[in-house]
Amino acid sequence: MPEIRVEIGERKRSYPILIEKGIKEEIGRLLTARYQGDKILLVTDKNVRAYYAEVIEELLRKAGYEVVIYTLPAGEQAKSFKYLHKGYDLLLEKGFNRDNLIMALGGGVVGDLAGFLAATFMRGISFVQIPTTLLAQVDSSVGGKTAINHPKGKNLIGAFYQPELVVIDPDFLQTLPLRELKTGIAEVIKYGLIADRDFAIYLKEHKEAIFNLETEALLHLITRSCAIKAEIVREDEKEKGVRALLNFGHTIGHAIEAVTGYQVYNHGEAVAIGMIGAGRLSCKLGFLTREDLEILGDIVRLYGLPFSCRYGEDVEGLFQTLFYDKKVRENKLRWILLERLGHAFIKSDIDNQLVREILEGLV
Ligand code: NAD
Ligand code: GLY
């Protein structure tokens, strides 16, 4: 079974990511080997509950655990104070203590909310991730970023809090809507572009297998993505340096999500447009070659991700929104650019006029 270790600071906080077809059936055994407590809060959302929560609950009960299910509404609205608070209420009402465990079964929304709940309940209790979207399997379940949203912006209230185990079963993806699959693919493309040219080329050549959800292709996609992320997080857990590379495409992407009110583009679609923008910027500055920029565009196009953004003519509005990013320091944007395909770097001193020109080409 592919196993990747996320090495964090002291060994005590390191954890495995287990990736295997059908591994969800093993969840009872995997947990009893690691968790001696009696209760589990299983956090999920309405859609995932209908497909999978009862099966997982049954497996956990058979393994001897008392399971309390906390079902969130589906979608970004669940990452709120309201549902965090309801989570604390439920934990207290059901008598959970510091020796108990919270398990996230769902996409990034469930993982982020459940993770923050785990980070803060009684100053931190054990946390396990079972991601069910591609985005969660390749990105959000790994690396310990947890958060809820504030009315002023996404992910503004949160903590770095690592899970103790991540269990990834590609079978979950069989029920995932195509648009959600594509949003995860955008993040997978990102890994190829920033860290592994061969992986980017693999994506260019295996679209059919990936869209057909062939096991071998999915396992390769997930394993390579998690390995790249684990390596970056090992070097820089708290995003003081190299972890920022994972934000390739996200500076413009986040601004696009914000100016369109989070209603038009989902995260992966906005990041795809952002990657096109950051790629063009890299090329204009003389780093990325035209040929490599074309490969980047080909991959984005191949997976049916958008190239440009339907957002009127207000380039200035979009430009100003770039500065709401959490990564802005002293009013300077920190761009993640490509030196070449498979190699990203950080650059701050970029002429605003050039950035405006790039944005004009995207809207
Ligand atoms: P999501 O959690 O909203 O899931 C997308 C949709 O798919 C939901 O409607 C969900 O109910 C449904 N779904 C989930 N699994 C399913 C399955 N197997 N079959 C059928 N339907 C299923 O969205 P997401 O894209 O997984 O995550 C987005 C969130 O992740 C955002 O809030 C973003 O901020 C966060 N995120 C966090 C990190 C991190 O490092 N913590 C990284 C990237 C994104
Ligand atoms: N998704 C970006 C990160 O985890 O740092």
Split at pLDDT 50, 70, 90, the class of 61 is: very high
**pLDDT at 11 (0 to 100):** 66
Torsion angle of alpha carbons 123, 129, 134, 135, nearest 10°? 10
Q: Which residue has the CA at smallest separation from atom 3 of ligand 2?
A: 246
**Per-residue model confidence as pLDDT tens digits over 271-291:** 999 999 999 999 999 999 999
Q: Are 354 and 319 in contact (CB under 8 A)?
A: no
- Digit-coded pLDDT (tens) for 208-230: 999 999 999 999 999 999 999 99
pLDDT above 70 covers what percent of the chain? 98
* CB of 106 shorter than 6 A to ligand 1: yes
Which of 5-14, 154-163, 237-246 is predicted with the least confidence, judged by mean pLDDT? Answer: 5-14
Q: How many residues are listed for the chain in this entry?
A: 363
Query: From the CB of 115, is ligand 1 less than 6 Å away?
Result: no
3-state secondary structure at position 182: helix
State the Cα angle at 71 between 69 and 76, rounded to 5°: 145
User: What average pLDDT does the chain have?
Assistant: 95
How would residue 1 be classed by pLDDT, with cut points 50, 70 and 90?
confident
How large is the C-alpha radius of gyration of the chain? 20
Q: What is the mean pLDDT of the segment spanning 119-124? A: 98
Strand pairing report for 343-347 and 335-340:
antiparallel
CA distance 143 to 236: 10
Q: What is the pLDDT of residues 332-363, one digit of tens each?
A: 889 999 999 999 999 998 999 999 999 999 98
Percentage with pLDDT > 90 across the chain = 88
Q: Residue 117 has what pLDDT?
A: 98
User: Which of 77-91, 149-163, 202-216 bottoms out in mean pLDDT, i.e. has the lowest?
Assistant: 149-163
pLDDT reported for residue 324: 79
**Short-list 202, 193, 185, 183, CA closest to 296:** 193
Q: What is the DSSP track for 304-338?
A: T--SS----S-HHHHHHHGGGSTT-BTTB--EEEE
Angle at which helix 178-195 crosses helix 290-302, to 10 degrees, equals: 160
Task: Name the residues annotated as catalytic.
Answer: 123, 145, 187, 229, 239, 243, 247, 250, 254, 267
Q: What mean pLDDT is predicted for residues 315-340?
A: 86
Question: Which among 140, 141, 194, 238 is the best mutation to test ligand 2's pocket, defined by most ligand atoms within 8 Å of the CB?
Answer: 140
pTM of the model: 0.96
- Structure tokens of 3? 């196993």
* The pLDDT of residue 237 is above 90: yes
Helix, strand, coil percentages (3-state) for the chain, rounded to 5, are 55, 20, 30
Domains of the chain: 3-175 (3.40.50.1970), 188-362 (1.20.1090.10)
* Ligand 2 centroid distance, CA of 96 (Å): 30
Q: What is the mean pLDDT of residues 152-164?
A: 93
Q: Does ligand 1 come within 6 angstroms of the Cβ of 180? A: yes
pLDDT band at 313 (very low <50, low <70, confident <90, very high): low
